[in-house]
Amino acid sequence: MKKVFEAVQRLGERLLAYVFGRDVFISYAHADGRPYARALANALTSLDKPLRPYLDLWAASPGATLPLTLLLALRRASVLVVIATDEALKSPHVAEEIKRFAPLARPIVAIAAPKQRLCWPSVVDGVSEPESEENITAGRPSAQVIRNIVEVVGDATQEQRLHRLAWRTALWLCFVVLLGAGVTVVAWQLTSAAGAVSNAVDELADTARLAARRETAKAAGAVIAANDAERRRGEAEGLRATAQAQAEKQRRLGAALSLANEASVILDKLKPDRLTTVAQLAAQAMMETNRLGVHSLQVDQTVRQVLDLMPTVHDPLQKLKYRKVLAISPRQTVVAIEQRDRVAFVDLVTTEAMAAEGLRPAGIWRIVFSADESRCGVVTGVGPESRVLRVWDVASGRAIGPPIPLPPRAYEIALDRTGEHAAVAYGENAAAGLTVRSTTAEPAAAPPVWKARHIDSVNFSPVAPLLVFSDRKHLFTWRWQTESQPTRIGEESETGAVRSLLFAPTGELFAASARGGPVSSRRFRPDLAEGRAVVEMWSFASGGAMSVWRDERQYVYGLALSRASSKLLVWDDNGVTVHTAATGVMEKTITHPSTSAAAVSEDGTIVASVGTDGTTRVFDMDRMLELDRVVSLASPAGDGRPALGVDIDEHQVTVVTRSRIQRWAALETPVTRQGVIPSAMAFLPDEEVIVVLGLDKTFKAAMYSAAGATMDSWVERTANDTAIAAASRRRVLVGDRHGDVAIHTPSGPLSALRHPANRAAIVALAVSPSSELVAAATTKGVCVWTNWATSHRQCTRLPDAGMVKALAFNSSGDELVTGNSAGEVHVWDWRARKKRLMMTHGAPVTSLSIDRSDALIASAGGHARVNVWNARTGVLQQELPHDREAEGVAFDPSGKYLATTAWDYLFRLWHLEADGSMKTVARVPFGTGVNRVAFSPSGRTVAYGGRLTLSLWRPEDLLRALCARVDCSEPARHEVQAASAQ
């Protein structure tokens, strides 16, 4: 009985396999065989005589075990085809499928690449079909493989089996029909009578049913119409609500951008008294864009500019409620302030105030301090003919000695180290003179007097009874207590008046002459600019004057010493230089035009410079990095009034002007600045990481995150590196002066690309947006590589490309834009090696960028404008003006913004308006010429740099830093509205 049951079961299995068995069962590993398996199944079903394959992608979902449906299909299949890849060799599912199919004694075909064919005969005892590894990877079955599979299947395809079964079934049905026809005729005769009656009844029933269906259809139609009307009403309401929400969002976004624009306008005018209002405008704009869930570079730039001008500043004397600052001591530790109707002396270290007895602010002409800061001389008087000098003790606030009437038209006052004597320069034109008076008692004899044409500068030595002054041509020393006549030192000056006489605490003298006078004078008197200025150091250690060192330059406007006199600052038109005071050796220079006061930390690492434009800038001299740039709230910007003093004590900066004392710490670098001078830079396409080739000698490219944090760099470099580009999968390409393009990865370098123009420097690199193509330009031509990351790399060299200095791919990579030193911009179909367009930039092109939609091309270099071209027609669409030579351009990933850099010390951001024009939305001062710019892949970070620093930012960091300076919880809307109204 058991044998009979097994025979029946085998017969049933054969019948099911005959009817439902597929021609081919495709076995593969999902990890690396899925594309080829899918393509093979599609190819077999597309034949003239199609085969019916079984592919689990079409019939079963993946899982840890083989489903029953798949096992049934495997048992009933005619041929097993195995895609013999590396992962298939490891796959337990593929092994189980082969194990279950092998006992059925049906054909097995293994499709394997040459390197796998040696591994598979031990696994599959069947036909081995060769296939190339490239076809398996790309999913392209060869025609030979398909023909061989068809031959293995043969004529016993499922379709042919079904045809035979259908034909045999039709013959049997015909026989059964004929047999049944005879029986039917007899039965028909018997039922014909009953059928007539039944038909009549059915006709009546059909008529009733038809009427009922019509009524039901009418009711259903009415319900459907009502539902459809309700649905349309709901859709209309939804569209109306969406439109209203979009309109409200656009209105709120427009309001936020308007606030940012208003803030930018105020910043452009650099009005320090409105800096708090500007910060509130910027904070409100950024919070509004955050609530809307949008990102605006215009708002980010405004906040960035506010933060550059608004560090955490406090006034140590705020509690004293003073009206203004009258004077500051030589060592920057004591100030004289006006409090209501009195004058007080304040120690800036302890902030203790001592009122000057009987001294009122009205009528004060000048206040000077002694070198030891123990006494203060105050000159009062209504006019130059009636001025009186009196000395006060700073510690007690009491007057010392009687009032001293000054000679007519006194214009220069100086106190000696202890304040016991005063030197007074007076007169005008050829009737000038210099006299020394005692400040504590009436002199027993007539005070000494020296007559001269004009006295320029006067100062007392802090260690000896020695007076030093100049008379436009000569420098004099005068020991007035023992000598009746001054002693001339040095030769006759050829550099003009001495404008600064500065003593070190140990007695050394630093003298500076400033040829040509102030900038405003030279504008109307060009002859004043002739000649040279001199900075000179004199020593009096031997009893006489001896010049220690001498330095010549174009102009000198002021001098300052560090607290221990180890560093000397000299400032002129261009900026501030740091010298070793003992030798005069110049160490470093910073750029800050129109400096009015400066200070240096004791170790020489931090320099603060106050300009007449109302800004104070703080520099890290070790890294040549600007730390802060602060708008002085004490003095309106651009009024040309110098600061009273600036000091650095343990890297804490103090600036004293007439109306305010500002103090802040400059210990840390803001997150938006990095101390590297970029010669080339690029963002990695897959992440917010920028790689920078700096001008240092570490021979390792700097890497920074979007937050500005320094990262460990895996890009090695050499002194010959010239250009940089980045591709996906963390690959950085660096070109050098020998025509090689090194490929760096975190795991190590790949084999370099070599330009066909051997030994020619790589001047520009570009990677297509898909990272599949790399273009490199040398002075001898352009090469475009395909398959550049493999051993099958190929180079297409463009003919007659000129001396290309800038490259850019379009979004598809089909076109390459080049800019050359002849001022031409070419658009190439690089595969056909043909030019499609040619535009005339008008100067050597240094930078190119294409927007995301491939509609616009921006070019920069050689002149003070950026050209924006129509990428399809080559027509010049707009010229973007700059104050000096434009250097860099970059479209952001959204295509809405264009960033430009130039040598006018400004980073600019332009917005693409609806009419296609570009509008400036941000102008950020940088402190030096800006040459490089790049956007991150998300567009939320922009990096730009020049000869000083690299600048990066993220919006969330900006808002957090801004809210630390102003109250972001509820900006003062009335102040914002008032600012907008103005």
Q: How do residues 49-95 score in pLDDT, each as one tens digit?
A: 788 888 877 665 666 677 877 877 777 787 888 888 878 878 888 88
User: What residues contact residue 163 under an 8 Å CB cut-off, 6+ apart?
Assistant: none
Task: Using DSSP, state whether 261 is helix, strand or coil.
Answer: helix
Asked whether 573 and 534 are in contact (CB, 8 A), the reply is no
The first and second tokens of residue 330, run together, are 């030589």
d(CA 203, CA 252): 72
- Euclidean distance between CA atoms 272 and 633, whole angstroms: 5
pLDDT range class, residue 807, cuts 50, 70, 90: very high
What residues have CB less than 8 Å from 151, skipping those under 6 apart? none
Is residue 509 pLDDT above 90, yes or no? no
> 663, 616 in Cβ contact below 8 A?
no
Q: Is the pLDDT of residue 632 over 70?
A: no
Dump pLDDT digits (tens) for 447-494. Answer: 888 888 788 889 999 888 888 988 877 888 988 888 888 888 877 655
Write the DSSP symbol of residue 362. T
CA distance 476 to 653: 35
Bridge-based pairing state of the strands 79-84 and 108-112: parallel
Span 687-713, average pLDDT: 77
Say yes or no to pLDDT of 722 above 70: yes
Residue 523 has pLDDT above 80, yes or no: no
The whole-model pTM stands at 0.55
Half-sphere exposure of 600 (CA within 13 A, CB side): 28
Per-residue pLDDT at 696: 60
pLDDT in tens, 546-583: 888 888 877 788 899 888 888 898 988 778 889 998 89
**58-67, 155-164, 495-504, 873-882: which has the highest mean pLDDT?**
873-882
User: Quick one: average pLDDT of 605-630?
Assistant: 77
Cα 658 versus chain centre, distance? 38
Give the number of other Cβ atoms within 10 Å of residue 250's Cβ: 11
Q: Tens digit of pLDDT for each residue in 749-778?
A: 899 999 888 778 999 999 999 999 999 999
Q: Say what angle helices 68-76 and 2-20 make with each other, to 10 degrees.
A: 90
For the chain, the straight-line distance linking the first and the last C-alpha, in angstroms and rounded, comes to: 107
Least Cα distance to 271 among 636, 594, 617 occurs for 636
Closest among 399, 414, 424, 420 to 368, alpha carbons compared: 414
pLDDT value at residue 785: 94
Average pLDDT, the chain: 81
